[in-house]
Structure 1
């Protein structure tokens, strides 16, 4: 990897951390030069504008979180275990989020809802991929006989994802992980009704 490629990746990484904490609108190019230590001219050698940085920074942040989701799920054998492993990634969201600033999908979805169509589209795509991922886990559980075949994977996936993001939001807002802990406990009990083991 060349020095230029390393510099570009460094700008993306530091900008992703900045945007995920302060938001896109709340971060200026001057903020980017401050967190990277790279002058404005150096930034413009790699990116045409702040928008270009933001889109790549979003992909970087989401990629980091997705890697942690995948790693956590690999350690589980059951479908319910895999679902709950997603919550374990954010179990200590206040002190130890998987990416600095919390969930990049949640942060971007809220901020870009009416202000940045391109970022909004990226957040929408991330949400759809996450829903498909959760549905895939549920479908696998049905296929291997762990979960009851009559469950609605579409609605359950939406519910699971909403519980995850809601727990993140409440815990971050209050500065207390208790909401995520509550959601983990309640969802774990709720999912038991879809398991053949509960019959």
Structure 2
């Protein structure tokens, strides 16, 4: 269901953790809307910035943002939200993937959010193939099974999902959750 506060959870967690939050969004309009909300929060909650990778068209703008990210001080109270579709990450954007990896090594990328998970799982093979590429190019590197201490926080959000779809997500990404870490809206949502 919409309007239940999922976006607020992501915004609050990313702001409290500081550093860089990577938000993977399935729809371009959703990413643009989220950036607008983040930029409004800037005045109320301190230094909060937001960028949408899908909307950055020039190499100069891309390089400027990457430099800002890489020069972020680990002790800074600045929070930067990077919104991106799987396509933006897996297409010919090696500079973005390199920057995200460097942020991971510097422990500046503190939260990874997968928003509207049900859309990835239900909208067919085209998005699923992008998500599989995203898994091998990014998620496997950020969440290596051999070094769980280096994992950033992970927040996966959806309004509608079942145990069956969680199993499919696990098979697609190699990511899984302990039952105690899953918040269901109501007992009916677990069916």
TM-score band, normalised by the shorter chain?
A: under 0.3
**TM-score, length of structure 1 as denominator length:** 0.27
TM-score (norm 2): 0.28
Higher relative contact order (CA 8 A, sep 6+): 2
Bigger proportion of residues as strand: 2
